[in-house]
Amino acid sequence: MTFSPLICVVGGYGVVGSHICRLLASRHPQARIVVAGHDMQKAGLLARALPHGRPWALEVGDDDPLAGLEEDEVPDVLVMATLDPDDHVLRAAARRGIPVLDLTRSLDRIDDAREVLADVDELIRFVAASGWMAGAAAVTVAAHVRPDEPAEQVEIDILMVVADALGPETATRFVDAHKSFAIWIEGRPRLVRGLAGPRRFRFSGDRIVRTRLVSSPEQETLVAHRLSNGVTVRLAVAEVATHVGFSVLVGTKIWSCLPRATRRRMLQRLTTGQGEHPHEFWVSIVRPAGGDHRVAQIRVVDPHGQRHLAAASAVSQVERLLGWNGRAVPPVGVSLPESAPDAVRDVEAMAQMGVRFDVTLH
């Protein structure tokens, strides 16, 4: 009998959520996909375009957002493609034993998820894929490093195009760009200022820009999973005026003086692009001395932009949760994309969905 899982995507008609639904339907036409959210018109429009899609009204602020589900309507996997600020959706899913993939949960809220899961009788599988592009950068590292042979240093350099169609959560990543945060160098934490540490980096087409340090989960999680002794993440905005202007606002401390709500509104206005522009990031892995190749550089490019790349990474995590294509199912409790023992399968899956991985060894 063909396995026809029920996959519920909360925020399924959003910028990233809609791409997740379409990619799932393309790769697994037998899957039943529920497009969930508060706007039934938008949910219905997308659901009708899917082979086995249906809309579902869901409010993340309700005490029990999953109330009213019949036994045959309980999802096999629930994907959070929108914020769950009060953990109502997570709590409701946990009570029903539904595995969850969360794309929006910040690193400092993972402990909140553990507390929610501790309150239920049976632990569920919960994957927090809130790293860059739903964990795409982290799994790229995990696919090229063995935990028993951690890298000495990992450098991630990102070129972001704000004219690309970005989800609203992308903007919120930089609301506190002025704040200091910890990075790891040679196995030791070091406190750095946001957008400090500029370095010249050469992207595709011999384009040289200055990338700057930004706070991102990989700087802690890759070290915690013993994939590297040090990790830094730097980012540059492709639009020069925007890149320089934002750097000046942060560097002169004007940004920190603005109310948080104002900073959020400014970023949301900045990231309202509706185009489709290639998204590119590079992962540089410095291995311990003594091997054949000391440095590996991986260029990751999605010709269809950030929303497609994040969706492709999310779909690979759904396949992992369902054990599709021989994937190793994550253990119960909280886990991350980079903790998968078969992370190379994530890279293979994303490549099948059109993401390019170009590896150079030095």
What is the structure's pLDDT at 310? 96
Mean pLDDT to the nearest integer, 305-320: 96
Cα gap 192→215, rounded to integer Å: 10
CB 345 within 8 A of CB 325: yes
Find the mean pLDDT for residues 146-167. Answer: 88
Is the full-model pTM beyond 0.75?
yes
CB 106 within 8 A of CB 130: yes
pLDDT above 80 (res 322): yes
At 183 the pLDDT is 93
Write out the two tokens for 17.
Answer: 């959520």
Across the range 242-266, mean pLDDT stands at: 92
pLDDT at 22 over 90: yes
Mode of pairing for the β-strands spanning 333-335 and 125-128: parallel
Q: What is the pLDDT of residues 206-241, one digit of tens each?
A: 999 999 999 999 999 999 999 999 999 999 999 999
Q: Per-residue pLDDT for 1 more than 50?
A: no
CB 221 within 8 A of CB 143: no
CA 107 to chain CA centroid, nearest Å: 11
Neighbours of 44 (CB within 10 A): 16
Question: Residues 46-87: pLDDT tens digits?
Answer: 999 999 999 999 999 999 999 977 777 899 999 999 999 999
CA distance between the termini of the chain: 49
Assess whether pLDDT exceeds 60 at residue 42.
Answer: yes
pLDDT over 90 for what percent of the chain?
A: 78
